[in-house]
């Protein structure tokens, strides 16, 4: 039985609670949040002990893995503190706010010989995973143009409104667009150049980035926190390959459209993802639990999370300077 502690019981913490409830081989022995009502809710769901203080939990509980669902600016300090006590760490995305902090987290995990991963959940969404597979396995050729959209109203629910302070959240590039950036880098290739522009208003933030991948493909990525409050969350992609085109829009009944020209005869089909497939937040937690408990292959590596942050920060820098940014190779 893998023993887990959950740190942070807000929006993402509650989401993770539902995932752990489905795991018979996991015991969430402790939950921690400075807001007692949030911690108590998670504890009631998981039959866990409640803590309001991280240090007290670390001193009094025995567990193998900690799941960090705190605001981004807290990831570095709490992850390293847990690693130095020999705990495996699963940390919500993004890995950190700076490359320096991210590198220190990665180095500490290696030094302490503990397992570490970051919650880049988009890779576990069946629609996104299958899209990448189709270009690998279904003769759609090479992806040459990729468009992604991730738009919503401003996240007003955040604790102490931390999303609105970009020194704490990183803004749309680092918090929102990074979902698509991670999927793109992992599925289609590393980025070599970024040009981005943004409009920042009073919780009306809109961001666009043009990426050139090392393999020559071009990406147009759009993220917005400017939709009206209460409007449906929108995410979509379009992948144009040398032998076919794949489109997805989460707001359509038949959300995936495939267009091909076999034997120069145009063909189009539309379908929706299989609703029976595992829920992605459960799937990402299950993947790391299997890595920690059974030494299964690590699906999201720390170096990949670092690479995704590097691209997001490059887009943020490009938008601020209104100049293109070249991505330096490190890994």
Q: 23 and 40 share a domain?
A: yes
Q: Is 71 part of a structural domain of the chain?
A: yes
Three-state secondary-structure class, residue 110? helix
Which of 119, 136, 158 is the last residue before a domain boundary? 119
Q: Is 292 part of a structural domain of the chain?
A: no
Which of 119, 148, 178 is the last residue before a domain boundary? 119
pLDDT given for residue 315 in this prediction? 98
Q: Is 219 part of a structural domain of the chain?
A: yes
Give the chain's domain count.
Answer: 2
pLDDT given for residue 202 in this prediction? 79
Q: What is the pLDDT of residues 253-276, one digit of tens each?
A: 666 666 666 666 556 665 566 544
pLDDT given for residue 308 in this prediction? 98
pLDDT given for residue 331 in this prediction? 55
pLDDT given for residue 229 in this prediction? 86
Q: 136 and 225 share a domain?
A: yes
pLDDT given for residue 172 in this prediction? 94
Q: 167 and 18 share a domain?
A: no
Q: 209 and 276 share a domain?
A: yes
DSSP string of 128-164, one letter each residue: HHHHHHHHHHSS---EEEEEEEEEEE--TTSGGGGGG
Q: 101 and 140 share a domain?
A: no
Q: Are 119 and 90 in contact (CB under 8 A)?
A: yes
| Domain hosting residue 66, numbered range | 2-119
Q: Is 286 part of a structural domain of the chain?
A: no
Which of 58, 89, 119 is the last residue before a domain boundary? 119
Residues of the chain with pLDDT under 70: 138, 253-278, 331
């Amino acid at each position: 039985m893998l023993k887990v502690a959950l740190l942070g019981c807000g929006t993402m913490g509650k989401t993770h609670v539902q995932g752990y409830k489905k795991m018979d081989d996991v015991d969430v022995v402790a939950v921690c949040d400075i807001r007692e009502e949030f911690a108590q809710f998670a504890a009631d769901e998981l039959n866990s002990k409640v803590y309001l203080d991280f240090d007290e939990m670390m001193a009094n509980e025995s567990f193998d893995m900690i799941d960090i669902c705190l605001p981004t600016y807290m990831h570095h300090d709490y992850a390293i503190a847990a690693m130095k006590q020999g705990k495996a760490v699963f940390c919500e995305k993004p890995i950190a706010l700076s490359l320096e902090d991210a590198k220190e987290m990665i180095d500490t995990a290696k030094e302490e010989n503990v397992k570490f991963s970051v919650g880049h959940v988009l890779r576990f969404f069946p629609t996104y995973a299958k899209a990448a597979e189709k270009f690998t396995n279904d003769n759609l050729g090479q992806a040459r143009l990729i468009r992604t959209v991730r738009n919503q109203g401003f996240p007003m629910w955040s604790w102490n409104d931390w999303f609105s302070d970009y020194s704490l959240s990183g803004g749309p590039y680092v918090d929102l667009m990074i979902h698509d950036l991670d999927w793109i880098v992992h599925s289609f290739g590393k980025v070599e150049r970024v040009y981005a522009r943004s409009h920042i208003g009073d919780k009306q933030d809109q961001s666009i980035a043009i990426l050139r991948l090392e393999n020559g493909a071009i990406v147009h990525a759009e993220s917005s926190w400017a939709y009206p409050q209460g409007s449906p969350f929108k995410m979509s992609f379009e992948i144009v390959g040398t032998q076919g085109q794949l489109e997805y829009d989460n707001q359509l009944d038949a959300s995936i459209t495939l267009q091909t020209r076999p034997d120069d005869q145009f063909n189009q089909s539309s379908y929706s993802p299989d609703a029976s497939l595992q829920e992605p937040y459960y799937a990402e937690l299950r993947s790391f639990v299997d890595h920690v408990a059974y030494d299964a292959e690590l699906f999201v590596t720390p170096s990949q999370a670092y690479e995704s942050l590097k691209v997001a920060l490059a887009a943020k820098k490009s938008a601020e300077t209104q100049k293109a940014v070249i991505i330096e190779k490190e890994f």
